[in-house]
A = this chain, B = another copy of it.
Amino acid sequence: MHDNVKRAVTTYPINDLLASRWSPRAFADRAIPTDVLGSLFEAARWAPSSRNLQPWHFVIGERHRDPDGFARILSTLVGANKSWGKNASVLLIAVTEPEPENVKGGNTYAYYDVGQAMAHFSIQAMSCGLYIHQMGGFRRDKARELLEIPDQYEPVVSAAIGYLADPSILSDTMRERELAPRSRHPLSEQVYSAKWGQSHPDYV
């Protein structure tokens, strides 16, 4: 099974939810039960945030329960995202509030904290047998207009959520990406000991 090439290759072991997480394009034609999807949003809700401001909001479209809402979000995706995104069970636009009224100078962590919330969301998805694929490729202006997002909020990221399907449903190009191994920079370039550029002897 192609999941083998997707599993993280690590020197130090990591939790299975994290090791087996990846961002697929082949999603099954299957509705997500309301309570299961609810668990994903609870996970995002309980993420940490600077000053507990919780800057995240999510606008969702459910393909099987609300085809019109789903089509609206689908229409904001660009390029290949639209071609495989149509198979997701749920599409989502995450939104942040960079300058809340009561926060002088704005919220420095407005984007960072939405990243945290989406990470919690995606790990809960793994825990429920679901996968998510985050996408930067969507039209922010169109999302704002179609989803009626007020001026003081900013669309951050879009995401497809669903159950895994066989890669054979994809186009040749997308199937190739779907089956490619994942890769990351080595720890030696990510972890420094006590000062910049000084690799840690145990993290190489």
Residues of A within 8 A of B (CB): 8, 10-15, 17-19, 21-23, 34-36, 38-39, 41-48, 50-52, 54, 56-62, 66, 68-69, 72, 95, 108-109, 111-116, 118-120, 122-124, 127, 134, 136, 146-150, 153, 156-157, 182-185, 187, 189-197, 200, 202-203
Closest 9 pairs between A and B when the two form their complex, measured CB to CB: A115-B115, A69-B194, A119-B119, A12-B38, A112-B115, A15-B127, A8-B46, A10-B42, A12-B39
Identify which of B18, B111, B134, B190 contacts A123 (C-beta below 8 A): B18
Q: Which residues of B contact A66 (CB under 8 A)?
A: 193-194
Cβ of A83 to closest chain B Cβ, rounded Å: 19
Identify which of B42, B115, B148 contacts A196 (C-beta below 8 A): B148
Is the Cβ of A115 less than 8 Å from the Cβ of B119? Answer: yes
- CA distance in complex: A8, B45 (Å): 10
Known: A8-B42, A46-B18. A58 touches B124 (CB 8 A): no
Nearest residue (CB) in B for A107 is B136
Is the Cβ of B136 less than 8 Å from the Cβ of A45? Answer: no
Identify which of B115, B122, B203 contacts A41 (C-beta below 8 A): B203
Q: Which residues of B contact A123 (CB under 8 A)?
A: 15, 17-18, 119-120, 123
Known: A119-B47, A190-B56. A196 touches B149 (CB 8 A): yes
- CA distance in complex: A66, B60 (Å): 48
Is the Cβ of B46 less than 8 Å from the Cβ of A14? Answer: yes
Is the Cβ of A45 less than 8 Å from the Cβ of B190? Answer: yes
Known: A59-B196, A112-B112. A15 touches B17 (CB 8 A): yes
